[in-house]
């Protein structure tokens, strides 16, 4: 089963910058289980619109192309990793 974590972000977004090291931790901890796919909303606004992204950062977990979970905003690393683990 393919599991993707979509990260909708922008370079000017302070909460996005706060989450950068958290996303890197998730990539390492869930290597082989979750593929992190980062989308800069400034460079691909159409994709963000297709996913109904209204605020950033927005994180979407997809299993086999179907959305199973979504969260927005900066979160503590442990909370975020727990959210990812619960939605695998």
The total number of structural domains that make up the chain: 1
Domain range for residue 63? Answer: 3-86
Active site residue 34: no
Query: Of the residues 5, 16, 48, 53, which is catalytic?
Result: 16
Q: Taking a C-beta distance cutoff of 8 angstroms, is the pair 82, 69 a contact? A: no
Is residue 13 part of the annotated active site? The answer reads: yes
Among 5, 6, 13, 48, the active-site one is 13
pLDDT tens digits along 18-71: 999 999 999 999 999 999 999 999 999 999 999 999 999 999 999 999 999 999
Q: How far is CA 65 from the centre of its chain?
A: 14
18 vs 31: CA distance, rounded Å:
21
4-30 pLDDT, tens digit each? 999 999 999 999 999 999 999 999 999
How far, in Å, CA of 16 to CA of 73, rounded?
8
**Size of the chain, expressed as the number of residues it contains:** 88
CATH of the domain at 47: 3.40.30.10
């Amino acid at each position: 089963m393919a599991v993707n974590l979509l990260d909708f972000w922008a370079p000017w977004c302070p909460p996005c910058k706060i989450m950068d090291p958290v996303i890197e931790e998730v990539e390492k901890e869930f290597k082989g289980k979750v593929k992190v796919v980062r989308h800069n909303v400034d460079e691909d606004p159409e994709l963000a619109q297709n996913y109904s992204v209204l605020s950033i950062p927005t994180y979407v977990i997809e299993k086999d192309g179907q959305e199973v979970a979504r969260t927005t905003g900066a979160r503590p690393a442990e909370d975020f990793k727990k959210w990812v683990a619960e939605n695998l």
